[in-house]
Homo-oligomer: A and B are copies of this chain.
Amino acid sequence: MNFVSDNAFGVAPEILAALSRANEDTAPSYGEDDLTARVQARLCDVFEREVAAFPVVTGTAANALALATICPPYGAIFCHEESHIVVDECAAPEFFSGGARLVQLKGNHGKITPATVSAALPLYRRGVHGVQPAAISITQATELGTAYTPSEISALGELAHREGMALHMDGARFASALVHLRCTPAELTWKCGVDVLSFGATKNGALCAEAVIFFNRDLVRDFELRRKRGGHLLSKMRFISAQLDAYLADDLWLHNARRANELAQQMANVLSPIRDVRIDIPVETNAVFANVSVTFAAHLRDKGAVFYDWTEPANGRVVIRLVLSCLTPEDAVSQFLSVAAESA
Contact = CB atoms under 8 A, between A and B. Distances in A.
18 contacts: A4-B29, A8-B26, A9-B26, A10-B239, A11-B23, A57-B234, A58-B231, A58-B232, A73-B95, A74-B225, A88-B129, A89-B228, A94-B94, A98-B99, A99-B99, A122-B312, A203-B235, A208-B236
A72 interface: yes
Interface residues of A, number: 76
A66 to B, nearest CB: 11
A39 to B, nearest CB: 16
Count of chain copies = 4
A130 B85 CA distance: 10
Given A91-B131, A91-B229, 7 more contacts: A5-B29, A8-B28, A30-B128, A30-B129, A90-B128, A128-B233, A132-B225
A123 B231 contact: no
Contacts of A226: 73-74
Contacts of A222: 72, 74
A95 B92 contact: no
Contacts of A101: 91, 94, 102
Contacts of A27: 8, 10
Contacts of A203: 235
Nearest to A234: B208
B10 A29 contact: no
Nearest to A123: B87
Contact of A231 (B19, B92, B98, B99): B92
A207 B104 contact: no
A293 interface: no
Interface in A195-211: 202-203, 207-208
A219 interface: no
A87 B130 contact: yes
A61 interface: yes
Interface string A120-163: 00110000111110000000000000000000000000000000
B231 A56 contact: yes
A236 B128 contact: no
Interface in A55-80: 56-62, 64-65, 72-74
A7 interface: yes
A5 B101 CA distance: 27
Contacts of A25: 10
